[in-house]
């Protein structure tokens, strides 16, 4: 079971950074708390006592999002439910509603933050593939003396391995800034052991923009998760598709490639089989979302390679 001594609810970034700078050993920063409580149970962390908790959910600067020229800044307290409910976010981040709906369930989405998902650096983190596809930049803050110092890192530089990130002691994620993907079709695919509340075995995010005639790929963004130590962008497949006429066969060929990328420590064969059809499905769904006709079963059958 989880127990704690001091529980801090800082209201400002400065207060939060001060609390984090003086966090004693065993102290813990949390946001939604949806991971730490299940962790502190028999068979995982067992009885966990946290002498100090810094709960970031009331930091004023962490609330909401800002749309800039060509970018969207997602502040640290943004929760997954926001991607379903906020019309602005849906418009600018068209793959995120698909990602969010496959993430946990309504109750957990109300608490779980995108920043927390990144900070945990799980190989299966659902939030990471779409952020990679949107060229996400992680903004970090720490105290230098009495001043707030900030830096930004590309998301793929921030996440370094399973559970490992570039977050330095005393540092907090303040926001993730992504490119606005307005006008793209977005999709997210996920396979796990049940529909709701499941850790992904494999996930994939796709964002697709076609030329005005809708017959040629103009810009494709693809990323997969759960198949190795960190989620990865599939830049070679993107390059193979960009500028090409849209055909089912091309999509199927592209989908077959990522099977070789599976570098997980478990269920490798299963993941390989899943991931191929999966990336093709992600591209197809994204095409449908930007107006392409729904592929029929016969189409899929014909294009199967």
Partner 1 sequence: MSDNVSDRKLSMTVNGRKISRPMDGNYRLLDFLREELHLTGAKEGCGAGECGTCSVFVDGKLVKSCLMPTAKAEGAEIQTVEGLAPRGELTVLQRAFHKTGASQCGYCIPGMVMAATSALRANPFADIEEIKERLGGNICRCTGYTKIFEAVELARDILNGQIPATALDAESAGNSFIGNNVRRLDAPSKVSGQLKYAGDMIMPDMVHMQVLRSPHAHARIVSIDTSRAEALEGVACVVTAADVPGIDGFGVFVHDQPVMAREKVRYVGEAVAAVAAETVEIARQALSLIDVAYEPLPGLFDAEKALEPGAPVIHDYAPDNIVKHIPVRKGDVAKGFAEADLIVENTYTTQQVEHAYLEPEAGLAYVDHDGVVTVISPSQNITHHRHMLAEIIAKPINKVRFIMSPVGGGFGGKEDMIYQGMLALAAMKSGRPVRLIYSREESIATTAKRHPSIVTYKMGLTKDGRITAVTFRMLADGGAYGMSTEGVMRKAAILSLGPYDIENCTIDTIGVYTNNTPSGAFRTFGGMQAQFATESHLDICAEKLGLDPFEIRRRNMMVPGSLTHTRQRLENVSIGQVLDVAESFSRWERGAPTSRGATRNDLGGPDVRDACTLGARFREIVENKSKEVA
What are the residues binding partner 1 (CB under 8 A)?
1-7, 9, 30, 33-34, 37-38, 41-43, 47, 53, 55, 57, 81, 84, 90, 97-98, 101-102, 104-108, 110-111, 195-197, 214, 288-291, 293
Quote the CA–CA distance of 214 and 192 in Å, as a whole number. Answer: 33
Which structure tokens are listed for 174?
A: 């303040």
State in angstroms the smallest separation of the CB of 261 from partner 1: 25
Quote the CA–CA distance of 52 and 291 in Å, as a whole number. Answer: 51
DSSP three-state, residue 268: helix
State in angstroms the smallest separation of the CB of 295 from partner 1: 13
Which residue from 13, 16, 22, 108 is spatially nearest to 55, judged by alpha carbons? 16
State in angstroms the smallest separation of the CB of 259 from partner 1: 22
Quote the CA–CA distance of 257 and 240 in Å, as a whole number. Answer: 11
6 vs 235 by CB, closer to partner 1: 6
Residue 38 is given by DSSP the state H
State in angstroms the smallest separation of the CB of 28 from partner 1: 11
33 vs 267 by CB, closer to partner 1: 33
Which residue from 86, 85, 18, 7 is spatially nearest to 49, judged by alpha carbons? 7
State in angstroms the smallest separation of the CB of 204 from partner 1: 15
214 vs 243 by CB, closer to partner 1: 214
Please give the sequence-ordered ranges of beta strands (E in DSSP) within 38-130, or none if there are none: 48-55, 65-68, 71-75
21 vs 37 by CB, closer to partner 1: 37
11 vs 161 by CB, closer to partner 1: 11
């Amino acid at each position: 079971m989880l127990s704690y001594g001091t529980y801090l609810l800082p209201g400002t970034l400065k207060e939060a950074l001060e609390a984090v700078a003086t966090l004693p050993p065993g102290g813990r920063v949390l946001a939604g708390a949806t991971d730490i409580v299940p962790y502190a149970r028999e068979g995982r962390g067992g009885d966990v006592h946290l002498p100090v908790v810094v709960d970031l959910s009331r930091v004023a600067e962490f609330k909401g999002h800002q749309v800039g020229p060509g970018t969207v800044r997602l502040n640290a307290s943004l929760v997954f439910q926001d991607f379903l409910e906020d019309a602005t976010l849906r418009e600018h981040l068209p793959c995120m509603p698909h990602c969010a709906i496959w993430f946990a369930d309504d109750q957990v989405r109300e608490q779980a933050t995108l920043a927390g998902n990144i900070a945990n650096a799980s190989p299966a983190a659902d939030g990471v593939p779409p952020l990679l596809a949107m060229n996400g930049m992680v903004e970090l803050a720490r105290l230098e003396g009495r001043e707030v110092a900030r830096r930004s890192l590309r998301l793929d530089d921030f996440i370094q391995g399973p559970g490992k990130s570039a977050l330095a002691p005393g540092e907090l994620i303040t926001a993730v800034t992504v490119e606005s993907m307005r006008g793209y079709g977005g999709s997210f695919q996920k396979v796990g052991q049940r529909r709701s509340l499941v850790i992904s075995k494999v996930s994939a995010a796709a964002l697709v923009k076609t030329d005005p005639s809708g017959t040629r790929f103009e810009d494709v963004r693809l990323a997969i998760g759960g198949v190795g130590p960190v989620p990865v962008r599939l830049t070679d497949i993107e390059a193979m598709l960009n500028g090409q006429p849209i055909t089912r066969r091309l999509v199927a060929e592209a989908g077959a490639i990522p099977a070789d990328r599976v570098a997980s420590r478990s269920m490798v064969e299963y993941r390989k089989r899943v991931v191929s059809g999966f990336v093709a499905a992600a591209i197809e769904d994204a095409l449908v979302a930007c107006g392409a006709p729904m592929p029929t079963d016969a189409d899929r059958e014909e294009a199967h390679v």
